[in-house]
Amino acid sequence: MSYVDRFKATDELINHLQPIISIITNEDLKSKYAGFLSASAVTVYELAIKDIFINFAEKKNKAFGIFITEYFHRISGHIKIIDIEKYAKSFGEKYINRFNKKLKIKNKYIFSIYHNDIKAIYGNLINCRNEFIHENNTTMTFDEVVEGYKLGKEIIHILNETMKR
């Protein structure tokens, strides 16, 4: 499966929920929807990240692909930028350098248009998901989660570009 296919479920959820959210007046209910959406977003990020690394390893060597599949079976939510950097570095120094260089360029571009730091908003989305799952609390509005999810996908795209031979 291509990593971009992972985004489909959350993209469809957003398209379904946006018209509904706009008519809800109960702020607590809107907050719950934001939490559910953040959980969906972070889940598809995790699956996409796994797909990228597994696909990379399988192209290198069948046995390596099996090993990486088993390794990433256990990452369970460890997908912050620092985690992605650690994973990329384990494949070789050139991959971490390439990831950071591409991320810096994309972040500068995104900031010039949206006035948002994609690294920060990606981290905020993960934190929002964690707060919702562990404490039934959300730290972002529904609209902020939607924007964060869309901008955060750029990090996943950068990782995919990075992990090419």
Angle at alpha carbon of residue 77, lines to 72 and 79, rounded to 5° = 80
57 within a domain of the structure (yes/no)? no
Tens-digit pLDDT profile for residues 12-51:
999 999 999 999 999 999 999 999 999 999 999 999 999 9
In one-letter notation, the amino acid at residue 8 is K
Tens-digit pLDDT profile for residues 74-117:
777 899 999 999 999 999 999 999 999 999 999 999 999 989 99
65 within a domain of the structure (yes/no)? no
End-to-end Cα, the chain, rounded Å: 19
Tell me what the mean pLDDT of segment 49-62 comes to.
95
119 within a domain of the structure (yes/no)? yes
pTM for the whole thing?
0.94
Q: What is the span of the domain harbouring residue 119? A: 6-17+28-46+76-162
Q: How many domains does the chain have?
A: 1
